[in-house]
Structure 1
Amino acid sequence: MGPRNLFLTNSPESSNDCEDNPTRNRGFSKRGDNDLDPDECMQRTGGLFGSRRPVLSGTGNGDTSQSRSGSGSERDSWKSEAEGGESSDTQGPKVTYIPPPPPEDEDSIFAHYQTGINFDKYDTILVEVSGHDAPPAILTFEEANLCQTLNNNIAKAGYTKLTPVQKYSIPIILAGRDLMACAQTGSGKTAAFLLPILAHMMRDGITASRFKELQEPECIIVAPTRELVNQIYLEARKFSFGTCVRAVVIYGGTQLGHSIRQIVQGCNILCATPGRLMDIIGKEKIGLKQIKYLVLDEADRMLDMGFGPEMKKLISCPGMPSKEQRQTLMFSATFPEEIQRLAAEFLKSNYLFVAVGQVGGACRDVQQTVLQVGQFSKREKLVEILRNIGDERTMVFVETKKKADFIATFLCQEKISTTSIHGDREQREREQALGDFRFGKCPVLVATSVAARGLDIENVQHVINFDLPSTIDEYVHRIGRTGRCGNTGRAISFFDLESDNHLAQPLVKVLTDAQQDVPAWLEEIAFSTYIPGFSGSTRGNVFASVDTRKGKSTLNTAGFSSSQAPNPLDDESWD
């Protein structure tokens, strides 16, 4: 059983796939070059489903085209439908896909995870809060003083214990503070921002806006992929059940008219991908004057060169309240130093930074193994591992879209039921692939990093890095697909001596911090590729990222850490 409509090709026009890029020995580009963002990528090269299509440089599908050069040094300009007209009429087929509506029965709305055997260990995780006058953490949902309807929905959703990121983020958001939260993937970040936002909306009341031509939501939540914004929407719908708050989700690859119809029925919380959001704003279907909350999920991705310009354009849109007049919240598994600098443009100067220990790569719920496997031995090793695994749900990460299809087809030929997801698959095909994977029809999913960002799929027991990513932060995000909600998982990475040596030192650090076995050969490579200035020790290793504003911090007796930071420079600019 193989991926649907999957045919191999050696089309020379597939230049979008950086396997054709001569700038690296392996032909793989750095993160961000290899796979156009699933939300934004509308370029359909001829290689995927047997038919050639022209490039959609506008947004007939409602998302922006973000073609990048092979080196990643340049970025094609983007233009929304509102600016460039219905470009799909002249440059490509009009998108007519309308996604099926989510189930409306209460049991489906409140379907939830079984928490894993290690869920109770969350109580011992170290948390660090940076910034002035942080409100104290809460220990139970009751302490949050939420309204009865929200408490009922929390109970029906199966939430009984707060996770560390929720203990700290909920009171911070309820206090009206801006927040940058760095927490392990799968640790409850979505509920951490939705619950306090909904609590405020229920307390303050919302504008009745059903069937108004111009909708003015109070909250916009932006995330990099269609699958992730849909997950956030389903959570918002769950927690707002039985209230007058209406959540809406919009994303590219679907009919623009469908997105507009969803919005005009009423919109208080808008979950969106960047391209479709900017199109809807350009069509004057969304007004921004009532925005009280702006949330960036997977914020490191939202502020990098992939989406940073779109986010800057969003906060500069007419009517968008300034950062002093709105509450801005950022959540991610990693916050590299450069991303924290960029975030200053979006956040008030007194924002709080929450770092939850054992994040991502340092998560002890994920057993991490690194194998030395040469480029030409990887396929054979992959088949061997998958046959030993059997039907357990497994995600296989590769660096390029073309390779995702190639490996998926290869595995099908080896009688291993496999499907794939990446930015060049049509929206209905992506949904079909995820459905086949979720429900066990295809227990193996081959994916690119960007396509799998933030995906929350229950019982993913294994992650295999067929190709290691170019950065350790991306490694953290990848292995976070398993070991979610306290469940245990396993991550296996193929380390190629020809191309992965740059990762040896940070990889040893991640493994050591998580108390995993470090192969002697990997330690030797790490030692021989010493990077000046790279910190391999200190207490801070329990955190994937630390507040760049922070000076010294002290641990309190409860095992939590609280530190005071000087005010950052106001309105730090970045060009």
Structure 2
Amino acid sequence: MTSSGDNSRSFAAQDAENRPEEVTNQSTREIQEQGECSDKRVAWLTHCEPEETSPRRRGIKWGGLAARYEWKDEYGDVGPRNDELEQELFKNSNVPRPGNHANELQLSDDNAAYFVSVEGDIELNPITKFDGAGLHPVMMENIAHCGYEWPTAIQAYCIPALHEKLDVIAVAQTGSGKTAAFLIPIISQLMGKAKQIAAPRPNAGDPKGKGTARAEPLVVIICPTRELANQTFDEARRLCYRSMLRPCVAYGGAPKQLQQNELQKGCDVLVGTPGRILDFLNRPGVLAFNRVRYAVIDEADELLQPVWEKSFHALIAELGSGFGEPPRFLMFSATFNQKCQQLARQYLSPKCVRLEITRPGTAVRHIRQEVSPAYPGYYELHEKKPLIDPRAPHTQIMWVNDGLKLQALVELIFSLPKARTLIFANTKLDVDQIDDYLYNHGLPSTSIHADRTQREREDALRAFRSAHSPILVTTGLSARGLDVVNVLHVINFSLPRARCGGITEYIHRIGRTARIGNQGVATSFFNNADRALAPALTRLLNGCDQKVPDFLEQYLGSSWHDENNIKNPAADEGHYTQSGWNNEAGTASNNSWGPASDAGDNNDPWKLAADASKNDSGSSRDNEHGHSDNEASWSRDDDEVGYSDKEAGWSKDDVD
């Protein structure tokens, strides 16, 4: 810890699920009487509705050990219900629910709402509802449990594409349901065939038999980050419910033996990061790809970057021709430049379809991007007025000098209604300093970056999801794929460097809010250090019919070399909004900082912001940041690679 904050803090917030029960069940009054937090944090805590913790989840420290449906030989074609597991998998706080604008993600009958580009020889007939789409009855029940009423546009095309046995490249906005777009049709098609094609299960009940078996998955899903792998695994657990298909996850940082034990109980759907999967493939009797029918590359444009080349090629080489035919390849991302598409075609069969689903001019449809009168020198410490006027429109791009960023950040957070907030910085040092600064100002923050132990990373993310620490500070590590319920505010404390992710990472960052038709606010701090990104930002704002701040107007019409070949960042990303997010306030209050009564009393978000700024409040966090490094009983894997610590984007992210 290099900041001036409390040195007794350990790095990651300890999740309530992992604390002793006597601590977990402490009331706010008890915490206050014990002097464990400031009055501000107690006040913030009263606005947080914590996620319910089921008995099954208590004590679990690793995402890979999460409960899943366990099939028994005596079951028929469909397994019986498990009420306790059903509550854990499908309870409201665990599943991202569609927002009030989710209908805008739906494919209209005339396709007028979208530009749909389908490249391939086969004509696809998109579905408009799940009924009649040829899905397995158990899958239909699981879809209903998840609250998915109709397919999003990307799902409407992917489901028939999989029925036609096509390889797929799919490009669609963040938060549009891409994970379900590949999991639903794949798992549905395998549900009725699992008994015939799945690998033998270990016979643990036979004393003469083996208690383990080699894992031979039917589906392999490769993700660039551990957090995304865990998140995809959770979705697979939901959609595999009451079927014979058993999902597993493998990622670096967690104990290998625990993951190996789960694999050897049987694995039909494997989700993981490249390094750890390769490790298990190289271990005799642990994992083999001879049965793989579907290979999914999530965030494919990232995995096709040179930093992943060695491990990615090694994984692809392991994919043989199970059952006499090569596996189907599916590649998904929100951004997919032309160079990556050319590389992707090396792995795809000629029977391939490329789907690109965008809504032109709507890349800011659900993320409000209004502009305040900020200008160089606007934020001066000697001024008597607040750094941010809560009655004024908040901005997406704000000029803030480096020395004033921390103060501006705190003022910004207090000026907005309490909701889950994701803050991005470019270096691990910045993340640590921001986290300490927020905590010392009475805000319930936690943080993640690649130098944290995996246990710390999982604890911090669970604390964020459960609203125990509803402010998460992170590097670009969390820019891709992270899907947390009710993230209503994304703040770029540091904008991505133009040569390290640039506008592509910016798009992924702000895509952490306004997911599945919900709304949100994205705010970015800008100063002279960000000039290299200015032409791209200006082009993005202008292409989305957004007002360009005064300090960026000089870049209007300027030439910009699009190194990533993103023809129109506005169209490539998806939809957000200039309108307010009043209608989401009631939804956000569930398991967030703002009580439901706040939503009903006011339709003016700026009145809510003004009220919030008057409330000198904070939130409580037990045991502060959680586990220390020496508590871990395992060592960090040696095969992690990534970008340098000094640059923005992916701060030494891990391959495994």
Q: Is contact 1:396-1:465 (8 Å) kept?
A: yes
Measure the CA separation in 2 of the matches of 1:242 and 1:402: 45
* Counterpart residue number, 1:209: 200
TM-score, normalised relative to structure 2 = 0.65
Q: Is contact 1:97-1:253 (8 Å) kept?
A: no
Q: Give the CA deviation at 1:114.
A: 3.0
Cα gap change, 1:359/1:383 in structure 2, threshold over 3 Å: closer, same or farther? Answer: farther
Amino acid at match of 1:251: Y
Measure the CA separation in 2 of the matches of 1:448 and 1:318: 33
- Is 1:519 aligned to 2:549, yes or no? yes
Deviations 1:423-465 (A, max 9, x none): 1111121122112212222221111112342111000010001
Cα gap change, 1:135/1:271 in structure 2, threshold over 3 Å: closer, same or farther? Answer: same
Q: Is contact 2:361-2:543 (8 Å) kept?
A: no
SS in 2 for 1:142: coil
* Counterpart residue number, 1:229: 229
* Counterpart residue number, 1:8: 2
Q: Is contact 2:168-2:352 (8 Å) kept?
A: yes
Deviations 1:99-138 (A, max 9, x none): 5843562112123233211111223333222222132111
SS in 1 for 2:350: coil
Q: 2:526 aligns with which of 495, 499, 509?
A: 495
Q: Give the CA deviation at 1:533.
A: 7.4
Q: Is contact 1:97-1:254 (8 Å) kept?
A: no
* Counterpart residue number, 2:46: none
Deviations 1:460-492 (A, max 9, x none): 010001111121110110001000010000000
Amino acid at match of 1:416: L
Aligned length: 456
Q: Give the CA deviation at 1:538.
A: 8.7
Name structure 2 gaps, 5 residues minimum. 12-59, 68-83, 107-112, 203-211, 370-395, 575-656
Q: Is contact 1:129-1:352 (8 Å) kept?
A: yes
* Counterpart residue number, 1:455: 482
Amino acid at match of 2:560: I
Cα gap change, 1:350/1:255 in structure 2, threshold over 3 Å: closer, same or farther? Answer: same
* Counterpart residue number, 1:114: 97
* Counterpart residue number, 1:486: 517
Q: Give the CA deviation at 1:164.
A: 0.5
* Counterpart residue number, 1:356: 357
- Could you tell which deviates more after superposition, 188-197 or 324-333? 324-333
Q: Is contact 1:396-1:446 (8 Å) kept?
A: yes
- Is 1:387 aligned to 2:403, yes or no? no
TM-score, normalised relative to structure 1 = 0.74
Q: Give the CA deviation at 1:175.
A: 1.0
- Could you tell which deviates more after superposition, 383-392 or 234-243? 383-392
Amino acid at match of 1:292: R
* Counterpart residue number, 1:54: none
Amino acid at match of 1:423: A
- Is 1:282 aligned to 2:309, yes or no? no
Measure the CA separation in 1 of the matches of 2:319 and 2:119: 33
Measure the CA separation in 2 of the matches of 1:268 and 1:535: 36
Q: 1 or 2 for the larger relative contact order (CA 8 Å, sep ≥6)?
A: 2
- Is 1:472 aligned to 2:503, yes or no? yes
Measure the CA separation in 1 of the matches of 2:230 and 2:244: 20
Cα gap change, 1:308/1:426 in structure 2, threshold over 3 Å: closer, same or farther? Answer: same
Measure the CA separation in 1 of the matches of 2:361 and 2:439: 31
Q: Is contact 1:361-1:476 (8 Å) kept?
A: no
* Counterpart residue number, 1:337: 338
Amino acid at match of 2:215: Q
Measure the CA separation in 2 of the matches of 1:188 and 1:511: 24
Name structure 1 gaps, 5 residues minimum. 1-6, 11-47, 51-95, 546-575
* Counterpart residue number, 2:306: 305
Measure the CA separation in 1 of the matches of 2:569 and 2:407: 39
Cα gap change, 1:438/1:349 in structure 2, threshold over 3 Å: closer, same or farther? Answer: same
Amino acid at match of 1:357: T
Deviations 1:223-266 (A, max 9, x none): 11112111111111111111111111111111111111000111
Deviations 1:485-522 (A, max 9, x none): 1000000011122x212222221222233332222331
SS in 2 for 1:306: helix
Please show how residues 396-407 of structure 1 align to structure 2 within 5 Å. Answer: 396-407=423-434
Amino acid at match of 2:548: V
Cα gap change, 1:343/1:154 in structure 2, threshold over 3 Å: closer, same or farther? Answer: same
* Counterpart residue number, 1:508: 538
Q: Is contact 1:218-1:268 (8 Å) kept?
A: yes
Identical residues among aligned pairs (%) = 37
Measure the CA separation in 2 of the matches of 1:539 and 1:276: 36
Q: Give the CA deviation at 1:389.
A: 2.1
Q: Is contact 1:185-1:360 (8 Å) kept?
A: no
SS in 2 for 1:330: strand
Q: Give the CA deviation at 1:359.
A: 8.8
Q: 1:152 aligns with which of 135, 141, 148?
A: 141
Cα gap change, 1:453/1:322 in structure 2, threshold over 3 Å: closer, same or farther? Answer: farther
SS in 2 for 1:258: helix
Q: Is contact 2:291-2:323 (8 Å) kept?
A: no
Q: Is contact 2:64-2:259 (8 Å) kept?
A: no
Deviations 1:327-382 (A, max 9, x none): 00011110012211221222123421111214999141111311122222211211
Amino acid at match of 2:244: C
Q: Is contact 2:226-2:252 (8 Å) kept?
A: yes
Measure the CA separation in 2 of the matches of 1:430 and 1:245: 28
- Could you tell which deviates more after superposition, 410-419 or 325-334? 410-419
Please show how residues 61-100 of structure 1 align to structure 2 within 5 Å. Answer: none
Measure the CA separation in 2 of the matches of 1:215 and 1:536: 40
Amino acid at match of 1:8: T
- Could you tell which deviates more after superposition, 443-452 or 183-192? 443-452
Amino acid at match of 2:122: D
Q: Give the CA deviation at 1:98.
A: 5.1
* Counterpart residue number, 2:381: none
Amino acid at match of 2:248: V
Measure the CA separation in 1 of the matches of 2:3 and 2:337: 38
* Counterpart residue number, 2:17: none
* Counterpart residue number, 1:569: none
Measure the CA separation in 2 of the matches of 1:472 and 1:332: 15
Measure the CA separation in 1 of the matches of 2:513 and 2:291: 38
Amino acid at match of 1:231: Q
- Is 1:138 aligned to 2:127, yes or no? yes
Q: Is contact 1:464-1:491 (8 Å) kept?
A: yes
Cα gap change, 1:102/1:213 in structure 2, threshold over 3 Å: closer, same or farther? Answer: closer
Q: Is contact 2:99-2:516 (8 Å) kept?
A: yes
Q: Is contact 1:358-1:514 (8 Å) kept?
A: no
Q: 1:530 aligns with which of 555, 559, 562?
A: 559
* Counterpart residue number, 1:252: 252
**Higher-Rg member (1/2):** 2
Please show how residues 118-197 of structure 1 align to structure 2 within 5 Å. Answer: 118-123=101-106, 124-197=113-186
Q: Is contact 1:216-1:267 (8 Å) kept?
A: yes
Cα gap change, 1:511/1:433 in structure 2, threshold over 3 Å: closer, same or farther? Answer: same
Measure the CA separation in 1 of the matches of 2:484 and 2:568: 32
- Could you tell which deviates more after superposition, 311-320 or 186-195? 311-320
* Counterpart residue number, 2:243: 243
Amino acid at match of 1:207: A
